[in-house]
Structure 1
Amino acid sequence: MITMLQSLKLLSRRAAVALSLAALTTTLAACGDDNDAPVAPTGQTIVQTAAATPQLSTLVSALQAAELTATLNGPGPFTVFAPINPAFSALPADVLQRLLESGNRAILTKVLTFHVVPGRITAGQLQNGQTLTTVEGTTLPVTVAGGVVTVGGARVTTADISASNGVVHLIDGVMLGSLDIVDNAIIRGFSSLVSAVTTANLAGALRGGNLTVFAPTNAAFAAIPGGAPTTAAALTPVLQLHVIGSRALSTQLTNGQQLPTLLTGANLTVGLTGGTVRLTGPRNAATVVTANIVAKNGVIHVIDNVLLPAAPAQTITQTAAATPQLSTLVTALQAAELTGTLSGTGPFTVFAPVNDAFAALPAGVVQRLLETGNRAILSKLLTFHVVPGRITASQLQNGQTLTTVEGTTLPVTVANGVVTVGGARVTTADINASNGVVHLIDGVLLGSLDIVDNAIIRGLSSLVSAVTAANLGTALRGGNLTVFAPTNAAFAAIPGGAPSDVATLTRVLQLHVVGARALSTQLTNGQQLPTLLTGSSLSVGLVGGGVRITGPRNTVSVVSADIVAKNGVIHVIDNVLLPAPAQQTITQTAVATAQLSTLVTALQAADLTGTLSGTGPFTVFAPVNEAFAGLPAGVLQRLLETGNRAILSKLLTFHVVPGRITASQLRNGQTLTTVEGTTLPVTVASGFVFVGGARVTTADIEASNGVVHLIDGVLLGSLDIVDNAIIRGLSSLVGAVTAANLATALRGDNLTVFAPTNAAFAAIPGGAPTDAATLASVLQLHVTGSRVLAAELSNGRRLSTLLPNNSLTVSLFGGTVRLVGPRNFATVVSANIVAKNGIIHLIDTVLLP
């Protein structure tokens, strides 16, 4: 398939051929004897021949304006039917001038290349009834009668003018058969009509089909009372009233004839008086002043007035109220409080379900939609039937998508003359209203309603209550899901009654949800469907056309399949699926999990195994063995020491949250209050869940008294500066803090401690101070009263310390941080140990006041 550029180049070449043929008129050969004999080529191209032929000077100018001379100087060969100067002069006034305007170059090219045929075709080869395919692409009819040859209605006056790259035949008319209705309107000066067509976006429609257009003059548009409409919505019905969907020459019109226009429900009445054609429309009449301008795709009749459609007197709401087929829709609009909206300025396009469409909904759905508590759902449903703007049926195209007022897109299908939107068929189109247009459809569009909405309007109240209690409504409104929805009777039949605690209810509901959309036709026998309940799948069984679903403890039947929602599909089932009961406590689960052996040891050392075997429920973020192994050297060993049991307990209970919280209940930005008392931040990003900076690697390990999530890091966020100093082996610092009675101060909020190593204390000249007052002064010099990370330390920055009138100055050397004190300096050897109440930076020297 050639590209548009190649096509234009080919057209240019062919147009140049037309010029050359015209130039060849000086060497014209008569259409007489030896017409079938080959024509000997001359030394001049078609363009050169045309340029040398006075009769073709206008054609040469046209070829130059269309930039086709180079093409017709090409190798060809071409056959050019070249209009002589009088042919151009015979065009209607100013047509030639408009053709030569630079803005109309595409139309001029289309005209000229319609005069060019590929190949060298002599007059003797032309036959009566023959059709030639032009370079422009349209066919050109040939007539041969009484020795006279005509092509496209123009007579060949001189034939077989030979050129080096083809042959030229002079003709007495300019052939406009390649121009459609819009092209003709442009070159004939109907600028007001062309502007209106462009504004209304109807040019595409007027270039296709087989049409009759009654074209008002520019003066007619100027005379419209109140001025011509300026918006596409207002112009569209006016223009549609001027177009008939078939070709009708004036000789085919009869007195009193009714011509149906493209404006639905509007006809024009023909009146013939003394050879004059009058057209009467809904509000006024017009006279045909020029008839039968034949175009490629129809015929134009010029008229002296702009015909005006009947002004719609009613808003969309009033129109619906006056249409018996829409009484249910009117009731729904009133219930949703949308009548005022659809009486507004708009414009709107409404795809209006008829009464039978509402009646075809499942039993009880309309009644529930009209309930006050479901107004939001009803509004969502109704606004999904409304599109901004005035869109007529002729503007709807196959494959088009419309964005509704509700916000969801609505797919359009046009096939075999039938228009469907969102799967519903348009039964009556283009009912005009003062603020838009209404199309009646045979179905209610439910595509804007999600799974929860569908459950509500279909009466699955027990399921909806359970989803609400388990706080899963948001989850079931997102994603692309399959939900096996138990009936109300199914919930009522659960042995012992439906679960009342959120944790158990959550597990039950998660077992009914598959994380992908699966219609019943996509299910296969024996297929395993992984559910949102970690580790639990459903097994599909197909028996005699029915679908059976088997879970961990029971089997159910699908009683109503394929309820399609915005975010997935619902299959109604006759029983509630029950998850396998958890048999082990959290402690037992941890003991049975090889990846948690270090955690079990820590729980035993902290005397917490009994607590996590209690009733709970608890949610445990459990660090795996690799997480403990990733702690700094010696930290785990110190945590397990008997003397540090309080710190270990503080650390472990920071990993435990009261209640059973599944992964699906964790939200980005959420904070959880731990058993230890400190809050734990949650981040959800790119499908991963992080708590306190550690990633959840395995979620939702069920236990009888809670749920366990494995994480890849040990959370130290509950340990303060003193705790960190103890577990990191800074024993000299801890001893000094204790001796100076500063432990309480260093457990306060938002501090930065420059912590000397044990070796640094050992290297103090004369030994470390022994009296509490001196020791306190030394330690206060190492503490600032705000949290400062290493990245925030800049060269020359002065840091105020807790020792009055003493500060530290920061000095940066090639990435190394030094702190200059009153008497000496120290280098930071390990930065940014984050504690609950501040930051620790290890230094290699004890700073002296």
Structure 2
Amino acid sequence: MTTMLHALKHVSRRAAAALSFAALTTTMVACGDDDNTPVAPATQTIVQTAAGTPQLSTLVSALQAAELTTTLSGAGPFTVFAPVNPAFSALPADVLTRLLETGNRAILTKVLTFHVVPGRITASQLQNGQTLTTVEGTTLPVTVANGVVTVGGARVTTADINASNGVVHLIDGVMLGSLDIVDNAIIRGFSSLVSAVTTANLTSALRGGNLTVFAPTNAAFAAIPGGAPTTAAALAPVLQLHVVGSRALSSQLTNGQQLPTLLTGANLTVALAAGRVNITGPRNTVQVVTADIVAKNGVIHVVDNVLLPAAPPQTITQTAVATAQLSTLVTALQAAELTGTLSGAGPFTVFAPVNDAFAALPAGVVSRLLETGNRAILSKLLTFHVVPGRITASQLQNGQTLTTVEGTTLPVTVANGVVTVGGARVTTADINASNGVVHLIDGVLLGSLDIVDNAIIRGFSSLVSAVTAANLGTALRGGNLTVFAPTNAAFAAIPGGAPSDVAALTRVLQLHVVGARALSTQLSNGQQLTSLLPGGTLTVSLANGGVRIAGPLNSASVVTADIVAKNGVIHVIDNVLLPAPALGTITQTAVATAQLSTLVAALQAAELTGTLSGTGPFTVFAPVNAAFADLPAGVLQRLLETGNRAILSKLLTFHVVPGRITASQLRNGQTLTTVEGTTLPVVVASGFVFVGGARVTTADIEASNGVVHLIDGVLLGSLDIVDNAIIRGLTSLVGAVTAANLTTALRGENLTVFAPTNAAFAAIPGGAPTNPATLASVLQLHVVGSRLTAAELSSGRRLNTLLPNTGLTVELFARTVRLNGPRNFATVVAADIVAKNGIIHLIDTVLLP
């Protein structure tokens, strides 16, 4: 509405002037008169016209109270259906007074703008059956009959009072059709009802829909036995009982009629007798004292008493407390701090284990569940017994699955009249509660608990402590696993005690875990089970009805089978299985290999020993000492400098591939993506394996976290032109590139760089330029935007450099390559230094642009 008013204030003055010019009358004419005598345009605005009309003094006061005088003094044009003073006087007692109160300005504005239509509409333009959209936004119906014009139920008594910004029609009634039920309650003085609606947060509900409201008077609220409820939760059902979700005028009510209310399950019964209308609710009867107050969104019937809903049923928590068979469940709900949740709105369906169900759990399980430290497990277990919504026994079907509040699904079986949920039988169904329904069951459902949860509540404290120390808790909560769980006594019997080293403890535990679910009925004699410990295989033996599991060093008997968990199954065993001695990590393997001492020093300098001691797995192509010794003089020394750690790390991680790849898995033409990110080409020929150009000399050195292959060369394919310049000692070139801000450019793709030696920079007449722009021009003259090997440099060939409009010309003299620049020439002294992003050729002179 505010937007529409704002828009109306800015109607084009040109349009308003045009409308004023169009022979609009200024005389007061009764509806139906046909006086078309032209008169001069009016000069007073609608507000000035109203102020000058004695019959509209109340309207003017209302416009002032609503702060609308400025709006109706604007350009317009507007058509105003103006209630005369007697129309306001005819309103019910005190309605006008309340409308004029400051706190009700929004309602008053809604009433007044419902009397205003955009545009200038004269009486002659009003037609029978027409609807007008008001500034307030609601439509006004028009009736024209026997020369009488009625708008919104009010009769036009004087038409076409012309104003400079529109036209005014006097009407004999105040139109309240824009006010909803709440607005009407406010202006009609139902203060107790309005206050209750606000407290119960039902204002929005009573402004929507198409409703019938049986509105108790203030006296009715005051007469409620014990006083009106004061909380939203208590007030809401009382008020909902007074609201019907459809519009029903008194003339539409019939004797014995049932009216469904907004209070779920509560109907009102209509009784018509001796000209009276009585409404009966669940607990009492009220009489309609004023009928048919029509509102924008429904109708109000005033009643002389407050209808009271039936006494609410107990919540699920209260129902459980009152049920003797559920005392253990109540204790568990209190320990898990869930009593408040199950007292909430819901609705919930609870499959409630009886006391005997808890008593049937293994010894000690209930007491551990109730421990404070296990509250999260208890909560997980209990919320697995709760399903959102109200589901009665008749709605449960065979094969159905229910998603619990905990998030895991419950399977339903219905057979021979017996309902089973999650494996537990429903013994008593459909115990109704205010916020749901309760079904008693004969078992505690443990299907939401994973392997770790089960180990905790079943008292496997040694196993749980070991899992925690080895940081395997997350692993044992995931996947679909089979765990052979040693008893506490089994841990205590380990020769020398359980390992204290995390790595050793991890290996022991991994040997007890199989990465697939295997119930005892699925195990077969001689079956091989692959554990999570690499290379750790378990062998099954079945004899005399027993199950025995053999590991690398010893064996154990299954003493309790098939403890089913959410993510697998547990078989309890009487011994701790011990793994074979552990392999060293890749770092430990390298340290123990004499040919890799230089690589170890490099890994230490790059701070990568920890990474290659991690879980991996990794495949490392490890350059032997001789490969490092074959690098150009000074390269290894520079790689090991602290300032070049990033380059060294780039070089070393180029030798590492994720995963465990044995020599038999390498194929000719294969490419491997390294940890550094660049690919390594594989060539297999004549029984030899080459990776990135280096030959594998010793393959398949196994480590605990991967495999190592020795190679006869250091792979430099991950280093770009700048990296190569740094490690090859071209300090003058690197310094110049840095000063000229060209480092990023020289790390780009596919370049050829003619790199002057340090001596060449030292020999520049007058010294190297210090101005960055000049220095950049010099360097750009040495860079070609494509990759060119020495074999591709032919005599007379013109090379376009990065220096705009400047190139180099190649001349070949025997085995010498000379480059002619704009001012001087240089000779290639070392060719074809291959980098990740191009080629470097060393030259003996700095070319000058």
Q: TM-score range by the shorter chain?
A: 0.3 to 0.5
Taking structure 1 as the reference length, what is the TM-score of the superposition? 0.48
Instruction: Name the larger-Rg structure.
Output: 2
